[in-house]
């Protein structure tokens, strides 16, 4: 399916093709919480990088976080490029040179109605803020850090890939 997205002020609009549009994965890491997650988490979906079309590219800024390496004080630049609108601050999409063929839009920036997931995956739960209520129950799978299943595998296994 073709997804359309935009920032809040309208300076950036984008569209892309996605066969994996279910917004099922909530990330509670501090970067997502601070840059994109009013509820303490952000949700990224996945689409095809080569299909990404952007209007207002000049208004797109990129943030590369510095991440602590284990317990040491050294910080390393994250490979993930978080794209956001430099006028209104809306989080738009993440790209990563390690996975060049994909781009990961924030579900919050997508205007096309997305399908509602029947189950959810909660990731980076070890980094959730103490005030955040992480949903529990049979429809929720939890991971302390990264999940065992990719966004693509999750869709494939549940026969939810959208043409």
Is 7 one of the binding residues for Zn ion (CB under 5 A)? yes
Phi, psi of 50 (to 5 degrees): -70, -15
Determine if 57 is a binding residue for Zn ion (CB under 5 A). Answer: no
Q: How far is it, in rounded angstroms, from Cα 104 to Cα 88?
A: 20
Number of residues that bind Zn ion (CB under 5 A): 6
Among 31, 36, 85, 94, binds Zn ion (CB under 5 A): 85
Residue of 40, 15, 1 lying closest to 109 (CA atoms)? 15
Least Å distance between CB 57 and Zn ion?
A: 13
Residue selected from 17, 87, 142, 156 as contacting Zn ion according to rule CB under 5 A:
87
Nearer to Zn ion, 25 or 85 (CB): 85
| Cβ proximity of 94 and 80 under 8 Å | yes
Of 147, 117, 121, the C-alpha closest to 135 is 121
Is residue 109 involved in binding Zn ion (CB under 5 A)?
no
Q: Which stretch binds Zn ion (CB under 5 A): 47-55, 80-88, 92-100, 107-115?
A: 80-88
Binding flag, residue 91, Zn ion (CB under 5 A): no
d(CA 134, CA 144): 12
Which one, 15 or 20, has the nearer CB to Zn ion? 15
Q: In this chain, which stretch among 1-9, 39-47, 121-129, 148-156 interacts with Zn ion, using CB under 5 A?
A: 1-9
Instruction: Determine if 88 is a binding residue for Zn ion (CB under 5 A).
Output: yes
Burial letters 57-77, b for 16+ CB under 10 A, else e: eebbeeeebeeeeeeeeeeee
Q: Scanning the structure block, which residue is given the tokens 């839009």?
A: 105
Residues that bind Zn ion (CB under 5 A): 7, 9, 11, 85, 87-88
């Amino acid at each position: 399916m073709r997804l359309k997205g935009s920032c809040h002020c309208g300076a950036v609009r984008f569209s892309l093709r996605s066969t994996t549009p279910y917004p099922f994965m909530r990330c509670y890491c501090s970067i997502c919480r601070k840059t994109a997650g009013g509820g303490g988490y952000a949700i990224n979906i996945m689409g095809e990088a080569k299909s990404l079309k952007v209007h207002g590219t000049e208004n797109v800024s990129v943030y590369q976080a510095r991440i602590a390496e284990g317990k040491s004080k050294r910080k390393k630049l994250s490979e993930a490029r978080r794209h956001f609108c430099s006028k209104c601050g809306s989080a738009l999409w993440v790209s990563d040179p390690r996975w060049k063929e994909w781009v990961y839009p924030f579900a919050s920036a997508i205007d096309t109605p997305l399908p509602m997931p029947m189950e959810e995956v909660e990731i980076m739960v070890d980094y959730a803020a103490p005030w955040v209520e992480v949903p529990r129950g049979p429809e929720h799978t939890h991971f302390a850090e990264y999940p065992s299943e990719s966004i693509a595998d999750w869709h494939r296994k549940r026969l939810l890939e959208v043409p």
